[in-house]
């Protein structure tokens, strides 16, 4: 897995979150994650096709999701994850991945993304098949976190 491919995910995540919430998350230590792994209770899955095939799993807790959704909806209070706030979280993932695909395109890689799928549940376990997973932790000022887990393989 080419480390050069990870930087566009970091750059796009930080810039989109900053643009949508007004707060730039701090990058934690990027690491290779053992699979299967347990996730936070909210995940958005976006598939990758083209020169890079795989999936990106963005994971966050309910409190972080509600704060992000609130910021994306102009500060409207969000006290539960209703359809509108779930849509905002899915759209955030879509925007991050769209920007990532554009940055990867600038490196000569053709990457297309699938529409995001939002999953909510307790004790979610993620098990990407036959791929290494790189985890990018993003820390927010209020101690909430979001992890972007990238599992992919290059086109042969």
Tell me, what's the pLDDT at 55? 95
Question: Which residues are registered as beta bridge partners of 47?
Answer: 55
* Domain assignment of residue 148, given as a range: 3-154
Mean pLDDT of the chain: 92
Tell me, what's the pLDDT at 28? 95
Q: What is the CATH number of the domain that holds 115?
A: 3.40.1550.10
Strand 31-33 with 125-126, pairing: unpaired
Tell me, what's the pLDDT at 8? 96
Is a pLDDT exceeding 60 seen at residue 1? no
Quote the number of domains for the chain: 1
pLDDT tens figures, 105-147? 999 999 999 999 999 999 899 998 888 899 999 999 877 899 9
Query: What confidence tier does 156 reach under pLDDT thresholds 50, 70, 90?
Result: low
**DSSP-derived secondary structure letter, 75:** T
DSSP 21-38: HS-PPEE---EEEPSSEE
Percent of the chain with pLDDT over 70: 97
pLDDT tens figures, 38-70? 888 999 999 999 988 999 999 999 999 999 999
CB atoms within 10 A of CB 12: 21
């Amino acid at each position: 897995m080419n480390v050069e491919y990870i930087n566009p995910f970091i750059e796009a995540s930080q810039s989109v979150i900053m643009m949508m919430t007004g707060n730039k998350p701090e990058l934690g230590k990027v690491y290779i994650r053992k699979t299967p792994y347990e996730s936070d209770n909210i995940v958005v899955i976006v598939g990758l096709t083209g020169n890079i095939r795989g999936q990106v799993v963005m994971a966050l807790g309910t409190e972080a999701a509600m704060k992000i959704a609130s910021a994306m909806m102009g500060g409207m209070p969000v006290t539960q994850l209703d359809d509108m706030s779930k849509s905002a979280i899915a759209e955030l993932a879509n925007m991050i991945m769209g920007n990532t695909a554009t940055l990867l395109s600038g490196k000569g890689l053709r990457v297309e993304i699938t529409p995001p799928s939002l999953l909510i549940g307790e004790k979610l376990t993620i098990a990407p098949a036959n791929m290494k997973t790189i985890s990018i932790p993003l820390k927010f000022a209020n101690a909430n976190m979001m992890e972007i887990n990238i599992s992919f393989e290059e086109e042969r």
